[in-house]
Amino acid sequence: MASFFGRFTSHSSSSSNSKPHAPSAPYAPSAPEVHGHEHSHGTASPYFSEHHPPQPYGSNYGAVSSYGSYGFPPGTPPEVIRSFQMVDRDGSGFIDENELQQALSSGYQRFSLRTVRLLIFLFRNPVDSSRMGPNEFTALWNCLGQWRGTFERYDRDRSGKIDALEMRDALYGLGYAVPSSVLELLISLYDDRSGRRVEFNFDSFVECGMIVKGLTEKFKEKDRHYTGSATLTYEDFMSTILPFLVSYS
Does the protein bind a second copy through residue 231 (CB under 8 A)?
yes
List all residues 6 or more positions away from 31 whose beta carbon is below 8 Å from its beta carbon.
none
Q: Which stretch binds a second copy (CB under 8 A): 100-108, 139-147, 155-163, 232-240?
A: 232-240
Binding of residue 239 to a second copy (CB under 8 A): yes
Q: Which of residues 195-214 bind a second copy (CB under 8 A)?
A: 211-212
CA distance 129 to 114: 15
Report the relative pairing of strands 162-163 and 199-200 from DSSP bridges.
Answer: antiparallel
Strand partners, 76: 67
Between 70 and 237, name the residue whose CB sits nearer to a second copy.
237
Q: Measuring CA to CA, how many Å separate 133 from each of 20, 88, 98, 204?
A: 32, 10, 14, 24
Phi-psi region of 181 (alpha: psi -120 to 50; beta: other; left: phi over 0): alpha
Taking residues 109 to 128 in sequence order and writing x for each that binds a second copy by CB under 8 A, - otherwise, the string is -----x--------------
Tell me which residues in 170-199 interact with a second copy (CB under 8 A): 178-179, 181-182, 185-186, 188-190, 193
Residue ranges that bind a second copy, judged by CB under 8 A? 46-47, 114, 130, 178-179, 181-182, 185-186, 188-190, 193, 211-212, 215-216, 219, 223, 228-235, 237-239, 241-246, 248-249
